[in-house]
Amino acid sequence: MVTEEIVRLENVAKIYELDGINIPALNGVSFEICKGEYVSIMGPSGSGKTTLLDVMTTMMKPTAGKVFIEGRETTTMSNNDLASFRGKKIGFIFQTFNLLPKLNALENVMAPMWINGVPRGERKKRAIALLKQVELGDRMYNRPNQMSGGQKQRVAIARSLAMEPNIIVADEPTGNLDSKSEKLVMEILNNLHKKEGKTLIVVTHDASIGKKAQKQIIIKDGKITSSGSSKSCKQV
């Protein structure tokens, strides 16, 4: 089976400068993620996995190296182009949900759509369908403070799907959830990967979640110690 590569990092380095001291966070990181793959990124605290996520999702530019998303080099793009590109290609799910507190669930899901220019009539229709997909059809007009952690994370999942991106990136998606909500959220994410063919990249501390991924990228001291497979996407 021939699969396209969707994310590729080539020799990526990121060095933070703090009070004149250079602190390396990533050091020569290279790997690729194939389209439709479920990948987990794991590593201890301070290993560089958050920096890796930020660089990989174009939220932060690397100090050196190249990042390709769907075949396009992102490191040379302007900030404005990058924002627009990111908005359409990558869906984000955060540990702390990052829902807008003054908007209800429906408005939160519609937020990426107005930002990225989806026609007004289309937005509501799509947001309602997405909220129903995450089983929140009855909580559409609730604000985040009227919802449980699990419900908030499901709204965030619906929001990440609003622009129909191929890549879903989840940063510790179950970190703030009880076990019941955790199970439900992971089930929804798994379905996105299995049924909809989304590329799912999950950053996690939780080995039990990480192990379920097709590919596990382990990072330590800013270096990849294991990237699951040495084969390129076309060889899979």
Partner 1 sequence: MPTDVVLESAKNLKREGLRTFLTLIGVVIGIAAIVSMVSIGAGLGVAVESQLDALGAETILVIPAGIQNIRTTLTDKDVDRINGISGVDSVAPIYSESAVMEFNGEKISVSISAVDAGDAEIFDDTGFFEVAEGRNFEKNESTAVLIGNEIANNYFDKKINVRKQIQINGIDYKVIGITAPQAQSFGGGPDTGNSVFMSLDGLRRISDATTPSIIFVTATDKDSIQDTSDEIKELFEDKYGEGSVIVYTTDEILEQVNLLLGVVTIFIMGIAGISLIVGGIGIMNAMVTSVLERTREIGLYKALGASNTKVLAIFLLEAAFIGLIGGVIGVIFGFGMASLIAIVGTTAGYDLIAVITPEIILGGLGFSIFIGMASGFYPALRASRLDPVEALRYD
Binding residues (CB under 8 A) for partner 1: these are: 54, 57, 59-60, 79-80, 83-84, 86-88, 92, 94, 98, 100, 102, 111-112, 114-117, 120, 159, 163
Shortest Å, Cβ 185 to partner 1? 19
Q: How far is the CB of 50 from partner 1 (least distance, A)?
A: 9
Q: What are phi and psi of 128, to 5 degrees?
A: -65, -45
| Shortest CB 90 distance to partner 1, Å | 9
Closest distance of CB 231 from partner 1, Å? 31
**CB closer to partner 1, 57 vs 216:** 57
**Dihedral through CA 222, CA 173, CA 132, CA 187, nearest 10?**
100
204/142 Cα distance (integer angstroms): 29
Place of tokens 């609003």: 162
Which DSSP symbol is given to 10?
E
Looking at beta carbons only, is 94 or 212 nearer to partner 1? 94
Smallest gap from residue 120 Cβ to partner 1 (A): 8
Q: How far is the CB of 163 from partner 1 (least distance, A)?
A: 7
* Bridge partner list, 24: 15
Output 96 or 226, the one with its CB closest to partner 1: 96
DSSP classification of residue 210 = H
Cβ atoms of 139 and 148 within 8 Å: the answer is no
d(CA 74, CA 89): 12
Looking at the Cβ atoms of 3 and 98, the one nearer to partner 1 is 98
Q: Whose structure tokens read 């952690």?
A: 149
Nearer to partner 1 by C-beta: 141 or 234? 141
**Cα–Cα distance for residue pair 169/160, rounded to 1 Å:** 9
- Which is closer to partner 1, CB of 199 or CB of 227? 199
